[in-house]
Structure formats: structure tokens, C-alpha cells
Structure 1
Amino acid sequence: MDLRSGRLKGKMEKEVADFTSSLGFDVRIFQADIRCNQAHTTMLMEQEIIPLEIGKKILKALKELEKEGIEALKLDSAVEDIHMAVENYVTSKIGPDAGFMHTAKSRNDQVATDLKIALKEEINSIKKDLLLFIQIIIQMAEKYVDTVMVGYTHLQHAQPTTFAHHLLSHAQALKRDYERIHDSYNRMDFCPLGSAALTTTSFPINRERTAELLGFKGPMENSIDGVSSRDFIAETVFALTMLGTTLSKISEELIIWSSYEFQMVELGDEFSSTSSIMPQKKNPDVAEIVRAKTALLNGELVTILTIIKSLPQSYNRDLQEVTPHLWKATDTLHSTLNITREMLASAEFNGVRGEELARANFSAATELADLMVREGKLPFRTAHQIVGRAVSIALDKGMRAEDMDAQFLDEISQEISGNPLKIDEKIVNKALDPVEIIKSRKVVGGPAPDIVKDSIKDLKKFVDESISS
């Protein structure tokens, strides 16, 4: 069928046809387009808008196409898009009566509906894999509840924590990523079909019925919005970009922690490579590629936003160019999500090295200042000054944190505040022990083992509820 044979004179040049064709990426909505036509035709039959026998022939032809697959369409750029290719196939099977399939429907509302159907399926797959990632982290956290490490701010030693506590920080970020994706799914779950070109139709269609047949919550409430809005794509890609940021941060840490300087993580060999010239090397190549690939998501998001930002209502052909960036984003995210999950699962954490780093470089300093507030009744700023001076002197003398004692702290306190602290030696020693510090952090969200176990329990509940919903 040649749409130009009516209003337009002459055929489109092949170069122009290739330039404007969307067939290259329409393959992603092939199955969705069949479903869309099946639902619409079923509704037309039920509403007695088209003859029952013709509707049955259309549905039969669509069923045959579904079984034969996209290869049966023999796609060519002379056909503008997948919608015309499907209609041409049905026409080849039943003749001109295939034209009834397009009654009260436009390619404008059809493509918007197809995109939502296909994207919903993609999101459900990503959500499933994301929940699996959270489960993997939960299992790892259970293994490392008591494994000490140092926490960082500005990539400098900050305070003692555990590998489990640190891992769960990523699990919580992934949980929010899941919720963002889930929210975008819920907002897109309304059907554009029936909007037609932009102002619906004079035929007595039943939009609630087609929405039901296609698994949507209901129809979109404004037909102009139905054919022109692509914010559901921008919002989804934003959610995927944020998830990609989480994956990049995880990969960045694995790169740093697996270095000789840190020695906190050993990655599985299957996620590493060696050098072509330096045989001793074990390079974290997969983590580096994840770090780079997730940057592509930022570009896809900006491109999508730039395309849609200045379009007048309602449908414009520019919207066609949004679609390939959507699928590039989903494909990139899905592959990096799964590879990062498996890479992290392969990692072995070095608890001995973790505790060594936690005991080095005065990571207990904050607890020592807190001790002076509790036991010495000092204002925190005064305690902060005393401990800061103590660390400075200790570094000059080559002392370690465990070399500090009550007398050493009394001397500095006397100098700064005019009074000694007079804190018991045993209490000072306890405040300098990373294991004891971690145990004392019993506030919600903290690294104390019991608190971490509660966090794990809450995450397990979230995963179970999300799977069952």
C-alpha cells in the first residue's frame, strides 16, 4: 500500500525514504504493534464498528504474522514504518478489507501505544534483574557483618565500619533506583490508543476496553497529550541513568579497592584481563568498561530531552528520533546491570587488610572526641581541637593511634582547655578500638552488627514484597 498515492504526486526518492524511515529500530515494537492491532480490531468488532467476519479475518492474519515473525514482513525502506509493514502483510493475506483495521486509529496513537507496551516489558525485565542484584548484595552482606574496614570521605580514612555496612549502602541506592523505575512504570501505564491523530474520532470506540486488552490501567485522559507526550521515555531514561550512576560508583570502588595500594578486594579472573606486555598485571577491565558505558546513558538522556524540549503540540516527526536513544539506553543499562552484579558477586573481600586500614591513620579520632564529650563533659568543638592536636603531635612523633594513652591526652587537654581529662585508661583504649567503635554505632542505619542485621531483614522484606507485587 502506498500512502502517497492519495494526496501526494510522485514517489519518494529512495534517499529520502531511507532518511525518514524508522524501520531500523521499529523491530523493537514489532510484537507490540501486533498486540495493538489485535486489541483495536477486537474492540472495533465488539462495538460493531467493523463487520464481524472481516474482523475475524484480520485477527487470523495477525495471528499468522505473530507466528511467522518479523521476517515475514520483508522490510524495505519503501515502507515508512512497522505499522504500514504490518498492514501490508494483512492486506496480502485478506485483500483491501485489511484497511478496516485502521478505522478510528492513527499511526500517531499507535506508535505511542506500541512504545509503551514494549518499554513496560523492558522495565519489568530490568526490575527483575535489579531485585536479583539486591539479593546478591544481601547475601554478601550477611557474610561480612563482622568484617571490619575503614570508611572514607574525600577518599581519605574517615571512620571504622564493616564491609557489610558499606555493601548495604549500595543496596539502598539500588532500592531507590528500583523505586524510581517502578514509579516511571506506574506513570506511563495509561494507554494512548484511541487518541487517533490528535482529537480522537467520531466512531463510538471503547478506549477503556483497548486499555484493558493491552494491560494498561486505563486510557490517557487527553488525546493531544496521548499522541505527543514522550516524557515517559525521558523519565524512564533518567531513572536508568541514575541506576547507571550507581553501577559506575560500584565499579569505581572495585577498581580502586583491587589495586595494590588498597588490597581490599580480589576480583574473579573472569572479570579481569592481563597486559599484552606486563605479565604480572591483573586489570579490572570489566569494571572500567562499565564505568565508561554508563556514561553513554547521560548522553542518551540529554539527546532525548533536547529533541522534545521545543516541540509544539501535538505530534511531530521529530519524536521518531527519540526512539533509538531509548533502546540504546535500555540495552546499555541492562547489559551493564547484569555484568556488574556478577562481577561484584565474584569479589572476595580481604578482612585482614580491611581491619589493618581501619586501625591505621587515626580513623578512631571521632570516637575519641565523642568520648571527651561524654566522659569529660567538654563541648564538642573543644574535644575536636584536643583530638586534632593529639593526632598532629602523634604524626610528628611517628605514633600510632593505639600508642595514645590517657596521660598523653591529659597533657594536650591541659594545654588547650586548662584542665586534664582524667578519663580511665581502659575507656580510652576502648574508644581507640575499631571493633568496639563499630559495636557502639547502634543508631538506625549504623554499622553495629545488630543494626546491620535489621537492615538486611528490611531489605529482604522489600525484595519479597516487590517480587510478589
Structure 2
Amino acid sequence: MAKMWAGRFKKDANAKLDSFNTSLPFDCRLYKQDIQGSLVHSKMLEKQGILSKKDVDLIQEGLHSILDQIESHEIEFTKAEDIHMFIEEKLTNEIGDAGKRLHTARSRNDQVALDIRLYVKEEIIEIQKFLFQILDSLCVAAKSHLKTYMPGYTHLQRAQPITFAHWCMAYANMFKRDIIRLQNTYSLMNECPLGCAALATTTYSIDREYTASRLDFLKPTDNSLDGVSDRDYCVELCSDLSLIMVHLSRMSEEIIQWCSLEFHFVELDDAFSTGSSIMPQKKNPDICELIRGKSGRAIGDLNTLLVMLKGLPLAYNKDMQEDKEAVFDCIDTVKECLDVFIPMFQTMKICKDNMMHACLHGFINATDLADYLTKKGLPFRDAYHIVGQIVGYGIENKKSLNELSLKEYKKFHASFEEDVYQYIDIETCVNNRKVYGGPSPESVSIQIQNIEDFIKQEACYE
């Protein structure tokens, strides 16, 4: 079939140009959005008296037929420059000249801008559903482990006692922010570009408010140049998704460490682990390692969009065809990772005894020992210095703070009494941290309730 732009040219397109220029192999996934936009556009043209009812009825019937054929795999995506021309050509073949009239008052520039917005809006909702699932899973785990004590780390060194529930809520708050970021992206992009045409709208008396409303947008875009050129929402989406992957990667890294015999804080279910081709004893956390690796893909997709856009003049440029593969890959990567990570986390065994054992070695209650002295009247810096000496003594004598005798304590300061052992008990150390946001069961219970309230407030999770 001749190119729709062939009237201007005296030569046929070179075969290499066709292959290089086409976007159909990847933008074919926008077929549903493209047909959805065309259905509304044709109805608007009829409403405005631009197309006859007869033509629009044929267009509507033809588009629904093509949609059914695509979804039943009766037709394949072949030999077209893009999904828009593929559907237009199929429509014209089915209904004749009425199909050629569909493109009245429209350009592929506002058509593709519409399609990608519709697609991104749908995917944001789907990704949010995954994130609400992981929030729910974290809350369930936290409720079961309010008194599962473990070391908190700084610089990957044992630092202070916390609980596994407190750890869960740290990630829950990260994923909560990811949901809010996606909501903000959705809100900013919820404007309809259809009617911007190539860049300067059209001389036809179209109704952009009608198309925006029928396509479930808040309003039409305010400027036609911006409407066809804007890909901010693609950048924002990939930025949001990159952060989701960073959070998943950080969580995966900790699980990878904790699966090792050096930690043995958790054990992955056999169904979500792999083995070695040569070492029979191995049980590998491949899911977490792949997520950690795939986070780089999402970040790369974000970088692709930023670099692609940074030097583009207004309005549409063919460079912008490159937005789709980056957006599609980023979305697919995040959904795939969330889909496998959630059940892996839900079935993960928590090794409470090993976590508690780690708490008892490493002097993670040293700050509490210093606080004990300050509450006896010593300045904190003096107490800090004394406890530092005690820790050094404990290391030399291979004793934890709990194992030192009261006589040994009194060598360093007379204020130590028998009550010091209760004060530096791991459970006491955690329970005393009742400050809002802290690791005590009371505080973490509030954190869980805050996340559960957030889940209940979001309609898309229902």
C-alpha cells in the first residue's frame, strides 16, 4: 500500500528506511488505546457535524471489529509505519472511504500523545495495586513480629536494637511514598492532548472538552505545542518506577545478606529459591539478585528519556518515538519484579533466635548503657567515654555487656547498680524507645495503623 504521505514524494521509500522508521513492533501494544481514542474522536466529529452519522456508524463498527480481530489473534501486526497507520489501513480496507475520513482534524502527533497518556494512566493504577499488596504484606509481617528483636545497622555494623516489625515499617513508608509519587504523576498528566493536531490545532470546530471528558481526562491540554511535545509524564513515571526499583533493590540486598549463613536471619521458601549446577548444598536468593540487577534497567530507561528530550525543539520530533520502548521496558520490569517479590516475601521464614543471638553480641546496647549513666547524673559525653572503655574491656575479655559482673562495672564508675542489667536488656532497650517513629511495640503499632489507614483510603486498592 502507498504511504499516506506519498503524494509529496517521487520515489518509493527505501526498504532500509521502512525497517528503520517503523515503530509498529513495539507500539503495537497501544492498539487498544489507539482504537479507544478513535472511537471518541469520530463521535466528536459527528456531534460537531463534521462527519455524517452514516460514516461514523461505519467507523465505529469497523473499529470494534478490528479490536475483536486483534484480541482474538485473527490479524497480525505487519507492514505499517506505526500502530496508527496499521489500524487506519485496516479500517479503510474494511469500510472504504469512511475510514479515510476518521483522521479529519487529527494528526498522528496528538494521536500518539493521547495513546501513550491513556496507556500510562492504566499502568499507574496497575502498579499501585502491586504496591498496595506489598504494603499489606509488610503490615501482616510487622504485626507478627512486634517482639522479634534484631540489630539495626549503620555502616553495615551492628548499631542499636530494633525489631523486625520496625524494619518492615521502614520499607512500608518507602513504598507508601512511591504510591503518592505515582498519584502525583497521574494528576499532572491527566489532561487530554487530542485536538492539538500536528502542533497548531485545526480549522475545524472541534470540541476538545467533549473528547477529554469521554476519555476520562480532567481537561484538555492548555497549549497545543506543549500538548504534542510533552513527555514530562514519561520522565516522571520512569523516575517514580526507578525509585520503586531502588527500594526493592535495597530490600533485596538485605534479604540476600540475611540468607547467608553469616547472618541466617531469614530463609527463603524452596519455591522461591534456586540451586547450583555443581554445589549440592546451595540455596540461592536469585529473585533478590535479579531485582537488584534489574534496578539498573529502570534507571537506564529514565536516563534514555532525559537524554532523548534534552535537546529537542518544539514541537514533535521523530526522536520522541524512542520514548515508548523505555517506558514499556520500565513498566514491564517493575511489574515483573513486584509480581515475584511479593509472594517470595510472604513465604519467607524469619529466624527469630538467630536475630536475637546477634543482638547479644556486638554491644548494640552500649548507647543504652550510656543513657543509664546520664540518668544517674553524668553528662552524656562523660558517660559516652566511660562506656567506650567498658566496651574495650568487654572485647579484650570476650564478654558482652550483659555478661560483665557488677564488680567489673564498678571499676569504671561507682554509679552502677544491680538495676543496670534490666536497663541494658535487649527487650528493655527496645521497649524504652517509645518516641513516635521508634522501634517499641507501641510505636510500631501506630506505624502499622498509619499504613493500614492509608491503604483503606485508596479506592484503587478495592
| 2:422 counterpart residue number | 430
Match of 1:452 among 438, 444, 458: 444
Q: Secondary structure at the match of 1:201?
A: coil
Q: Distance in 2 between matches of 1:323 and 1:370?
A: 57
CA contact 1:39–1:213 (8 Å) conserved in 2: yes
Q: Distance in 1 between matches of 2:189 and 2:394?
A: 60
Tell me by how many angstroms 1:466 deviates. Answer: 1.3
Q: Distance in 2 between matches of 1:341 and 1:13?
A: 49
Q: Secondary structure at the match of 2:161?
A: strand
CA contact 1:294–1:336 (8 Å) conserved in 2: no
Q: Secondary structure at the match of 1:50?
A: coil
Q: TM-score, normalised by structure 1?
A: 0.95
| 1:411 counterpart residue number | 411
| 2:172 counterpart residue number | 171
Equivalent residues in 2 for 1:225-244, closer than 5 Å:
225-244=226-245
How many equivalent pairs are there?
A: 459
| 1:338 counterpart residue number | 339
CA contact 1:252–1:287 (8 Å) conserved in 2: yes
CA contact 1:4–1:10 (8 Å) conserved in 2: no
Q: Secondary structure at the match of 1:3?
A: coil
| 2:77 counterpart residue number | 75
Deviation string 1:233-257 (CA, Å, 9 cap, x unpaired) is: 0110010000001111111111100
Q: Distance in 1 between matches of 2:241 and 2:460?
A: 23
The one-letter code matched in structure 2 to 1:436 is T
Q: TM-score, normalised by structure 2?
A: 0.96
Tell me by how many angstroms 1:65 deviates. Answer: 1.1
| 1:440 counterpart residue number | 432
| 1:161 counterpart residue number | 162
| 1:417 counterpart residue number | none
Q: Which moved more, 1:402-411 or 1:116-125?
A: 402-411
CA contact 2:28–2:82 (8 Å) conserved in 1: no
Change (3 A) 1:75 1:282: closer
1:55 equivalent to 2:56? Answer: yes
The one-letter code matched in structure 2 to 1:424 is E
1:466 equivalent to 2:458? Answer: yes
Q: Distance in 2 between matches of 1:212 and 1:178?
A: 25
Percent identity (aligned): 37
Q: Distance in 2 between matches of 1:359 and 1:320?
A: 58
Unaligned runs of 5+ in 2: none
CA contact 2:146–2:164 (8 Å) conserved in 1: yes
Change (3 A) 1:431 1:405: farther
Tell me by how many angstroms 1:18 deviates. Answer: 0.6
The one-letter code matched in structure 1 to 2:129 is K
CA contact 2:25–2:77 (8 Å) conserved in 1: no
Deviation string 1:185-240 (CA, Å, 9 cap, x unpaired) is: 11111111111001111111111110111111111111101001111101100100
Q: Secondary structure at the match of 2:198?
A: coil
Equivalent residues in 2 for 1:107-146, closer than 5 Å:
107-146=108-147
Q: Distance in 2 between matches of 1:74 and 1:50?
A: 30
Unaligned runs of 5+ in 1: 414-419
| 1:267 counterpart residue number | 268
Tell me by how many angstroms 1:437 deviates. Answer: 0.8
Moved >2 Å (runs of 4+): 70-77, 403-413
CA contact 1:141–1:165 (8 Å) conserved in 2: yes
Q: Which moved more, 1:82-91 or 1:66-75?
A: 66-75
Q: Secondary structure at the match of 2:458?
A: helix
The one-letter code matched in structure 1 to 2:77 is L
Q: Distance in 1 between matches of 2:380 and 2:12?
A: 81
Tell me by how many angstroms 1:431 deviates. Answer: 2.2
Tell me by how many angstroms 1:407 deviates. Answer: 4.5
CA contact 1:405–1:429 (8 Å) conserved in 2: no
The one-letter code matched in structure 2 to 1:273 is T
| 2:16 counterpart residue number | 15
Tell me by how many angstroms 1:290 deviates. Answer: 1.4
| 1:295 counterpart residue number | 296
RMSD (Å), alpha carbons:
1.4
Tell me by how many angstroms 1:97 deviates. Answer: 2.3
| 2:400 counterpart residue number | 400
